Amino acid sequence: MSAILSADDLNDFISPGVACIKPVETLPQQQPEETKESNPYEVTTEEKVNSGTTAPPAQINLTDCLACSGCVTSAEAVLVSLQSHGEVLDTLDKHAELKAVGHDGGNAEGKIFVASISPQSRASLAATYNVTEREAGHMISQLLSGPYGLRTGGKHGSGFTWVIDTNVMREVALSAAAEEAQQALEMQQTEQKKRPVLTSACPGWICYAEKTHPHILPHLSQLKSPQALTGTLVKSVLSRKLGVSPDKIWHLAVMPCFDKKLEAARGELTNEAWNGGQNATGEPVRDVDCVITARELLMLAESRNISFPCLPRNPLSKTHAPAFPDSRINKFLFGRRRGQRRKPTEEFDATIGTSGGYLHHVLKSQQARHPGSSLSTQRGRNADVSEYTITSPEGQPLFKAARYYGFRNIQNLVRRLKPARPSRMPGAARKPVGGARKPTGGAAGGNEGDYAYVEVMACPGGCTNGGGQIKVGDVATLRQIGGTGVENGSAEQEVLPAQREWLAKVDEAYWSAESEDLESIDEDGGVDMGDGVPATNGHHSDGSQDDGSIVDGIDHGQVRSLIKHWADITSIGTDKLLGTTYRAVESDVGKSKDENSMEKVSALAVAAGGGW
């Protein structure tokens, strides 16, 4: 077990860290002149030093957290105060809403507000109020953009111009992930890029790897998460099409995990990374300005005295859902969509999961490349570890992958991918540099070094079990506050299930959109925000054609065409639009001060009348 993770952390829940272990330096303060000159021979006891004075409060922001190796992941108590529903309300009250069509470019304080919603957050709200995932999505849109939501209050009556389903950019991420996995099979391993490819959409896992296991970084996928991709798309396209600075666009994301707040604060996910740009103050502009969770979304509604379950469950009308300024991207984001992702059967339940389906899509893409191949599954020591092997009709293994959820299992994976240390014994056989250790009993008896792709998530069970999701103990209270979603005055009260059964209900809500018929555009001009993939019949409304690369309902050809269009209208390379980087975070704890720092401290101590 890692030395940083204690036994208390092994419940796999990311608990708040109230005290930051990052050392705070206290330097001698300048004493008043009268104190120093009153009696030069007076002896001052230790108790009297700086008596009556208090040190200035330490200021630690999210960027400092990312640069510190003290915590494994995030201190949720701190993050909630920095990115919360209060920040959303303050921003809406501080800035008037710039209209996407005919906006007032001369309004220096105005902003364009855009929100993106994860399917896991919608599922959590759907299970809470006994509605479908699709209906929960409409209710969120009504809250953020509709006439009965946030626009009814505040200083300026500001609301969100667009509410985007992150499942849309998830298609981009899955298509790119399939290509990345194939490239990893074909390339030679180097110190900069190694197999297996480990997914990087979970910020808790990434933060853990950067701070404690730098040898893992060459394995990490270079792709942005759907949250980050949505932010980059929104800031890059709108700034070009509307002729505004990226800092005029304020992007809110509703996510299932508190660690997504840390992801939004990464310096690699700003306009400086993809365009080398800064705002008027010289600071980079974040692609995602604020992240809140499903629970915080309900607090947002409550702060404006809005009953969330009483909001309309139908799509927004065109009046409150204007078209995106680029017609092709508008069709991709908000066009008619068909739910072709299947509700998981017993056979494929483990591969699809509720964390975006990276592993599942990579496996289906590999099977599409090898007609007649078969997929076998072997479970590990627990339900959150599984190994998958694609074999040819002749029985030869073609592709091996795995899934590791939860920090208990992640530690085992990381340990077994650590390069073996060369033996110092004379005459000992030398192992290849960078070779993976042999496991002592892996997930399913295999060698992690043989994997081509591994889906890694910090939360057991996946993203529907994120720390920001509504917990079973909160459901009864939430239903009493704003309505239950059940007939009022019902004689029978619903018996709430235990946490495990509750998670199963959230998972069912996550898939509820898949079993519904597609809602076409309403007769009143409503815009469907449902999940799924674009309907195709060989030709697309954007003029592109199928190239036979439709895998699990996602048209890779159409996605590649859209990415090229995105790059063309922004004049930015696809590697910068889709990719990101990582860096090892070195610990300062226990390290000696450099000479310059020591000299500064010594000089200040002498100037203060002291010395060592």
| Cα–Cα dist 532/336, whole Å | 9
Find out if CATH 3.30.200.20 is the number for domain 76-168+225-337+504-548: no
**At 52, is the pLDDT very low, low, confident or very high (cuts 50, 70, 90)?**
low
Task: Considering the chain, tell me which residue range(s) the CATH 3.40.50.1780 domain(s) occupy.
Answer: 76-168+225-337+504-548
pLDDT reading at 553 higher than 50: yes
Name the one residue in this structure whose structure tokens are 């029978």: 492
Q: Is 291 helix (H, G, I), strand (E, B) or coil?
A: strand
Phi-psi region at 455: left, alpha or beta (left = phi > 0; alpha = psi -120 to 50): beta
Sign of the C-alpha dihedral computed for residues 482, 488, 493 and 494 taken in this order: negative
Looking at residue 105, its pLDDT comes to 53
Looking at residue 500, its pLDDT comes to 83
The separation between CA 523 and the C-alpha centre of its own chain, rounded to angstroms, equals 36
CB distance 73 to 458 below 8 Å:
yes
C-alpha closest to that of 69 among 219, 213, 263, 267: 213
**φ and ψ at 240, to 5 degrees?**
-75, -50
Looking at residue 600, its pLDDT comes to 55
Looking at residue 448, its pLDDT comes to 58
C-alpha closest to that of 158 among 170, 145, 171: 145
Q: What is the mean pLDDT of residues 321-340?
A: 80
> Does the bond joining 196 to the residue before it have cis omega, within 30 degrees of 0?
yes
Q: What is the pLDDT of residues 409-464, one digit of tens each?
A: 999 999 989 887 766 666 555 444 334 444 434 444 456 568 999 999 998 888 99
Q: What is the mean pLDDT of residues 121-132?
A: 94
Q: Which residue has the higher pLDDT, 9 or 201?
A: 201
Q: Which residue has the higher pLDDT, 3 or 43?
A: 43
Q: What is the pLDDT of residues 458-480, one digit of tens each?
A: 988 889 988 889 998 888 888 87
Looking at residue 497, its pLDDT comes to 60
Q: Which residue has the higher pLDDT, 592 or 8?
A: 592
pLDDT reading at 159 higher than 60: yes
Looking at residue 520, its pLDDT comes to 39
pLDDT reading at 15 higher than 50: no
pLDDT reading at 43 higher than 90: no
Q: What is the pLDDT of residues 519-550, one digit of tens each?
A: 433 434 444 444 333 333 334 444 444 444 78
Q: What is the mean pLDDT of residues 513-522?
A: 47
Average pLDDT, the chain: 77
One DSSP character per residue, 164-227 reads EEHHHHHHHHHHHHHHHHHHHHHSPP-SSS-SSEE----HHHHHHHHHH-GGGGGGB--BPPHH
The separation between CA 400 and the C-alpha centre of its own chain, rounded to angstroms, equals 26
Looking at residue 603, its pLDDT comes to 52
pLDDT reading at 169 higher than 70: yes
Q: What is the pLDDT of residues 80-123, one digit of tens each?
A: 567 889 999 999 999 999 987 655 555 667 899 999 999 999 99
| Cα–Cα dist 13/460, whole Å | 9
Q: What is the pLDDT of residues 246-284, one digit of tens each?
A: 999 999 999 998 889 989 989 999 999 998 766 666 789
Name residues whose C-beta falls within 8 Å of residue 423's C-beta, 6 or more positions apart in sequence: 429, 430, 431
Q: What is the mean pLDDT of residues 346-367?
A: 80
Q: What is the pLDDT of residues 475-490, one digit of tens each?
A: 888 887 665 444 444 4
